[in-house]
Every structure is written in structure tokens, then in C-alpha cells.
Amino acid sequence: MDANVTTVTTWTSEPDNITELNGTLSLGSTGGDLRWQFWEYRLSLQLQAYVGLVIVLTGVVGNSLCIATLTFAKVTSTAVFLINLAWADLTVTVVGQLCRVFPNTMFGFDTARYHPWICKIWFFLNHSAATISSWTLVAVSIERVIVVFLPFRVRSYCTKRRALTATVVINILCTACYLHYFWTYGAVYDDQGKLQAGCTILLHNPTLVPYILYVRPWQDFIIRSAGAFILLSTCNCLIIGRLMYERVHRKTLSASMVGDEKKIRSMTAMLLTVSITYLICFSPMHIMYLFDKSDPFGWKILHRWQAVVALRWAFAIDM
């Protein structure tokens, strides 16, 4: 979940009480405002709680098995990317869902609002891991393009060392893009020292305000969403087009070449499925950031349209 300055200006920014911001509001409490009167808000919490539990269970088990299987098997260049992808997805599942969304919706305990440094670290790890996942998948897709278009140069181009180098570069660049959360996010207090928000954008530094308000949203959208989306779509179109072309000309291939082609097609089809599934699952969240950039949870909800926004967030996060 991403909270920014629109949380302070658009939503009623005064919390019910200090304990709510510190995470003591549970599913069964009234909270002193109108949020519990709206079925949209109640449904949003249920979706995040129970669908999030399924995501945690499948994500932790699936990614752990993937890491164990690929690590102890013969490590190829593709396996290097897939191991990095599994670690990134596991981090998003544990940090994003298990450590914040699940306890917040099930028990009303928001870990990110418990301490400013927890807020900073949560945003840094969650967004860095999500971006690493996106660009690792892009790297896998680019490798598949090379395999499909240049099958006789795969051994020289797609080596384990080059995959490791690409993985390190991806991880460093993606984490560097989100170091700003250590300076731009934290707890906000009013002039009397009363806590207004436990985890949101910090506007006390005039030098960083233009970056936070105008540059950061587009930077996040381009790096985390649009850039990876465009490259994945391009690679997938190239792969599909090439496979269709080869299918038409398969009769001209020898028996040995047909066998090698089947192996390449099988691996490519599997990775292509992963890429398309990623695009389908992440598109709602990427689209949501263009319209609803404020985090509706943890603030007073006085109108139905605010509860509808909370429901949209729940659908987008749990896709």
C-alpha cells in the first residue's frame, strides 16, 4: 500500500485516536467513525485478510520450493534469473502481505505505523523487491528472445556468468531507486506535537517536496510499472511471432533440429505463461496508481465514495 500527500489533503486526516494509528483497531471494533457502516469497506478488509492469507500460503510455499529445486539442480542462466525472481517474490509476500497487510486487516495492527523506521524499511523493501521481480522477469523474457531468434548463439550469449552479472545490476539499480524512502517517509506530527499519521510522506524538507510531489509518482510508475510492462509486452509479441513463424516452416527442419526446437518451445511456452500471468495480475494495481494514489486505510472514512476507493485498493492489491 502506498500513502502520499493526497492522504492528508483528500482524506480526513485526523485519526480517531492515537491508538488507532499505532495499530489497535480490530475488525470487530467501531473505531468512532462511519467506515463500518459501509459494506464496501467491510468487504475490502475481508478481501485483504482472507485472500491475503491464501497469497501468503501459496507464495511462501511455492517460492521456497522453487528456490530449493533450482538451487540444488543444474544451475543454468535461466535458473539464475528464476532463483532471483523467486527470492524477490518471496520478499514481497513476506514483507508486503505477511508483515503488514495481513495483520492490519485481521487484527488491526499496522506494523508500518508502529515506528517511523519500520515504515521506511517496509516501503523500501517491499517496493524494491516488487521492482526487482518485474525487471528479473524482463531479463528472462529478453533471454528467451535471444534463444528463439539466435538459437545457435545461445551458448555464447546466455551464460551463467552473464546472468549473474545481470542479476546483480538489476538488484543494485532497483534498490537504489527506492533509497529515498529513508528520507521521504515516516511519522507526521502537527504543530502541537500530536501524531497525525504514523506512516506517510514527510513534507518538512522543502528541498525534497518538489521531488516527492511531482517527480516520485512518475518515477515509480515508469520504473515499477510502465517500463517493465512495455518491455515484457514487446518481448512476448516477438516470441509469439517467431514461434508462429517457425511452426509454419517446421517441415524444412531435420529430425535433430525438431527435437531441439521442441525443448526450446517447451521452456519458452512456460516462461511466456509466467510473463502473461504477471501482466494480467499486476495491471490492476498499476492502473489503480493512476487514479487512487492515497492509502484509504487507517483514516476516517465519512463518505461512501471513500469506502469504494478502499474496495478498489483491496481488489488491486489482492490480484
Range name among 73-77, 141-145, 212-216 with the lowest pLDDT average: 212-216
- How many CA atoms lie within 13 Å of 92's alpha carbon, on the beta-carbon side? 21
Average pLDDT across the chain, whole number: 76
Range of the structural domain that residue 235 is part of: 6-318
The answer to whether residue 148 is domain-embedded is yes
Task: State the DSSP code for 213.
Answer: I
Q: Categorize the per-residue pLDDT at 99 as very low, low, confident or very high, splitting at 50, 70 and 90.
A: confident
Mean pLDDT, rounded, for 87-101: 89
Name the band, by pLDDT with cuts 50, 70 and 90, for residue 287: low
Residue 65's pLDDT is 94
Residue 22 lies in a domain: yes
CATH for 232: 1.20.1070.10
pLDDT tier, 67 (very low <50, low <70, confident <90, very high otherwise): very high
Mean pLDDT of 16-25: 34
Residue 86, pLDDT above cutoff 90: yes
Domain presence at residue 312: yes
For residue 1, tell me if it sits in a domain: no
Domains contained in the chain, number: 1
Which contacts of 58-67 are long-range, i.e. CB under 8 A and separated by 24 or more positions? Answer: 59/89, 59/90, 59/92, 59/93, 59/97, 60/90, 60/93, 60/94, 60/98, 63/87, 63/89, 63/90, 63/93, 64/90
Query: Is residue 172 scored above 80 in pLDDT?
Result: yes
Q: What is the pLDDT of residues 230-264, one digit of tens each?
A: 888 888 888 888 877 777 766 555 544 555 556 66
What pLDDT shows up at residue 222?
84
Specify the pLDDT at position 24.
Answer: 33
Is pLDDT at 91 greater than 90 in this prediction?
Answer: yes
Amino acid letter, residue 256: S
Q: CB under 8 Å to 142, separation ≥6 — which residues?
A: 231, 235
> What local confidence, expressed as pLDDT, does residue 5 receive?
38
Residue 35 maps to a domain: yes
Residue at 46 is within a domain:
yes
